[in-house]
Amino acid sequence: MIQWKSNYRIPSEETINESSSLIQDNTIDSDSTVIGLENLETYYSELSQPDLAEKEELEKKGEFSDIENNPHVKYIYDSILGTNLQAKGSIVNGFEADAPKVLVVDDNAASRMTAVALLAMEGYQVIEAESGATAVDLVNHKQPDLILLDVMMPEMDGFEVCQIIKQDEQTRLIPVIFITALNDRRSRIRGIEVGADDFLSKPFDRVELAARVKSLVHQKRLNEDLDHAEKVLFSIARAIESRDPNTGDHCERLVSLGQAFGEYLNLPRHQIRDLMWGGYLHDIGKVGIPDAVLLKQGKLTPHEWEIMRGHVLIGEKICQPLRSMRGVIPIIRHHHERWDGSGYPDALKGNEIPYLAQVFQIIDIYDALTSERPYKQAYAPIEALKVMQEETEKGWRNPELMRLFADFINYCESR
């Protein structure tokens, strides 16, 4: 079910008049900057003749437009890449330095001690719990790298313990191996339902136990590194948003609008996730744009525009090391392309523009139009759609997608 509803409030008569004059005189770029049409034309015509003196001046001040030499971008890129490189090797990842911690949970002391002895022989730190409740407590306090969990225990059984662990954001990445009786099909199915990562049968085969534990601990550390890298990116994106006083909660709104429009279009789940992540990350490359350009009051010079336009390439470079960003990168790189090929960075035309980037651009512009900014009032949904329709007629957007978006907004506003 689509949950989105615009937060637009009907403005005063004076505001409507102001907005109307904006519609006639200006067009709005999805970087949230109102640009006069004339200015935009001037910009395109002058692109091939950069102002060299101005460029040299910026470079002297350390405000580089070259991605490779931009110190902010290089630092972030190296940090993310460093995390990944570490994740690829067990030695640099600390496997040798600190032995992985395994929690063995079993109410049967003899069985528990067998597992403890085998794991200790393999060099693991082992902690024990004789009940489900103790296990949950230890998981929270000791943060083990893996849990070996008996299914049948009095009071809280293994399924309940696993469910609690997998539902908690802090512990969900810890792999759980269920200890079941051989051929206990029902327990295995139930185990899969509550998020078990693997199964072992008693009596333990030492080689099998060692192999499974090693593989899952390794996988867990890889996941943790990726999880950490993603969190770093989202934090950077939030920091950039707070650096730009013009945008308010633009990213948050894009996330909910992206989810709602994605559902309306019946996009697959992973594409809806990419759209939502795009909401946070599309302008992450602005971290590499100097304050003198990003926060400049008034019109940007042609060279400053050139620098500003670099944010899409910087963003792509920052996110490239992460596999989980594969679906978001086309949004980051292409959210300023235009249907007629007049956009950037690649001047792609029509369906050469990745579909999610087309979808994202539409919601990005709609949100910029319907939000209040220091230099303009919020447009009413109908006014925003009118501006976007005019831009579509100029050839800037996919007409079919624009029609679907207008239907979507009208549907949301009519509820």
CA 48 vs CA 63, 68, 103, 348: distances in Å? 21, 21, 64, 19
Binding to Fe ion (CB under 5 A) within 91-150 occurs at: none
CB of 59 to Fe ion, least distance (A): 23
Q: Bridge-partner residues for 36, per DSSP?
A: 26
Binding to Fe ion (CB under 5 A) within 29-88 occurs at: 31
Binding mask 165-194 for Fe ion (x = CB under 5 A): ------------------------------
Nearer to Fe ion, 127 or 331 (CB): 331
CB of 283 to Fe ion, least distance (A): 5
CB of 299 to Fe ion, least distance (A): 18
Between CA 61 and CA 67 the distance in angstroms is: 16
| Under rule CB under 5 A, residue 316 binds Fe ion | no
CB 85 within 8 A of CB 92: yes
Q: Which stretch binds Fe ion (CB under 5 A): 26-34, 64-72, 88-96, 161-169?
A: 26-34
Nearer to Fe ion, 31 or 197 (CB): 31
CB of 316 to Fe ion, least distance (A): 12
Neighbouring CB atoms inside 10 A of 252's CB total 14
Between CA 392 and CA 370 the distance in angstroms is: 17
Placement of tokens 């960003």 in the chain: 325
Give 320's DSSP letter.
T
Q: Which stretch binds Fe ion (CB under 5 A): 24-32, 71-79, 149-157, 371-379?
A: 24-32
Nearer to Fe ion, 118 or 332 (CB): 332
Nearer to Fe ion, 283 or 306 (CB): 283
CB of 298 to Fe ion, least distance (A): 19
Q: Which stretch binds Fe ion (CB under 5 A): 27-35, 38-46, 148-156, 229-237?
A: 27-35
Nearer to Fe ion, 144 or 279 (CB): 279
Diameter of the chain by CA atoms?
Answer: 82
CB of 344 to Fe ion, least distance (A): 10
Q: Which stretch binds Fe ion (CB under 5 A): 28-36, 139-147, 192-200, 267-275?
A: 28-36
Q: How far is CA 382 from the centre of its chain?
A: 30
Q: Total residues at the site for Fe ion (CB under 5 A)?
A: 2
Nearer to Fe ion, 32 or 83 (CB): 32
Between CA 32 and CA 335 the distance in angstroms is: 13
Nearer to Fe ion, 129 or 233 (CB): 233
Between CA 137 and CA 133 the distance in angstroms is: 6
CA-based torsion, 126, 127, 133, 139: positive or negative: negative
Cis peptide before 154 (omega within 30 of 0): no
Candidates 139, 181, 169, 173; CA nearest to 156 is: 139
Nearer to Fe ion, 230 or 283 (CB): 283
Phi-psi region of 338 (alpha: psi -120 to 50; beta: other; left: phi over 0): beta
Q: Bridge-partner residues for 381, per DSSP?
A: none
Candidates 219, 228, 229; CA nearest to 146 is: 219
CB of 308 to Fe ion, least distance (A): 9
CB of 255 to Fe ion, least distance (A): 15
CB of 54 to Fe ion, least distance (A): 22
Nearer to Fe ion, 31 or 367 (CB): 31
Placement of tokens 């003899």 in the chain: 110
Task: State the residue number with the nearest CB to Fe ion.
Answer: 283
Binding to Fe ion (CB under 5 A) within 270-299 occurs at: 283
Which stretches of the chain bind Fe ion, using CB under 5 A?
Answer: 31, 283
